[in-house]
Amino acid sequence: MTHKEILEHCLAKKGAYQDCPFGDKSVVVKVKKRIFAQLFYLNGEPMLTFNGDALTGDFYRKMYPDDVKRGYHCPPVQQPYFNTVKLNGSVPDEEILRMIDSSYEYVVSKLTKKIQKELENE
């Protein structure tokens, strides 16, 4: 999957929007000011970082040990909750979409009930 395809998938989600808080080298997708996906290049290779619970993160790291790592740019305390995926074709596109969907759902679940309800009504 390309960054463009991933970005389109992310932005199709309710309340999702694009931001560049770390400069124009990285595109961040947020929902209600919370990051659920980050697209960037590392040593010329396209990468995706996504958010999630520690068990899901561990599952993906075990399933794709060469291509999914703890959030490479995250502080150690946050690393169990973020995974960075190499977008080199070795992880199936459907799995990448599931990772993104899971990340979005995880982030939304951490929002207040009031904000979740507002999001549903958008």
Say how far apart CA 61 and CA 42 lie, in whole Å. Answer: 18
Q: What are phi and psi of 81, to 5 degrees?
A: -105, 0
- pTM of this prediction? 0.91
What are the boundaries of each domain within the chain?
Answer: 3-120
Given the structure tokens 């150690």, which residue do they identify? 76
The segments of the chain whose pLDDT lies below 70 read 74-77, 79
Q: How confident is the model at residue 71, as a pLDDT?
A: 83
Strand partners, 18: 29
Q: Reduced to 3 states, what is the DSSP secondary structure of residue 98?
A: helix
Domain at 3-120: CATH architecture = Alpha-Beta Complex (3.90)
